[in-house]
Amino acid sequence: SSEEFDFFTLSSAWPKTVCLEGQTEKLYCNNTLDVAGWTIHGLWPSRIDGKEPKSCGHIKFNLKTLDPLMGDLLKLWPNLFKYSSLDSLWRHEWNKHGTCAVSDNNTATEFLFFKKALDVFKKINISRVMKNLNIVPSDTKLYSVRTISRGLKKHFSGIEPIIMCLDIKNKTYLHQIQVCYDKEFNMVDC
């Protein structure tokens, strides 16, 4: 069926690059947000053939359901853009990806889907890992994708994440780090 998937992809995003990307589409970031370090972009049911399931059901997004997670969501999975509702990113991620994850017991409800994403994101702690690898945001120091990839792979005991960069105005920025998990949430190669 269109809802079947093989593994999960947890996508972490570097907020400053997300904001630079947004500016190219006339979306501007809310600079008053309390965001320190990497944030969650999403938890995505994924397939080996690359044909990701999307928008699988009509289970309505209910912000109230997420009340117990609100502190973590605001800090770790914020909507960075001005002039859009606080919950617009969560609503989008639920409608597009969460509805496809309900077939898995770990992510069978809206609450469980967001909680699982937060839990695995906190566990891998990309911000701390990058700091430990001495890979820190800089406008002057450059890092090769190979350096980042090797460091992460070593840290993740040989598991290889996906590193995504973004080219804006002849500069390349680190954008996302994607880590993959099997359905029991053991880390696997993407």
Residue 93 is a catalytic residue: yes
Catalytic residue among 4, 21, 41, 58: 41
End-to-end CA distance of the chain: 22
| Rounded Cα–Cα distance for residues 18 and 41 (Å) | 10
Among 25, 58, 97, 110, the active-site one is: 97
Report yes or no: 101 and 8 within 8 Å, Cβ to Cβ.
Answer: yes
From CA 124, how far away is CA 84, in angstroms rounded?
29
- Contact indicator for 126, 38 with CB cutoff of 8 Å: yes
Q: Which long-range contacts (CB under 8 A, 24 or more apart) does 19-25 make?
A: 19/80, 20/166, 20/168, 20/173, 21/166, 21/168, 21/175, 22/80, 22/81, 24/168
Residues 149 and 8: their CA atoms lie apart, in Å, by: 19
Say which of 21, 93, 110, 160 is annotated catalytic: 93
Residues designated as active site: 41, 93, 97
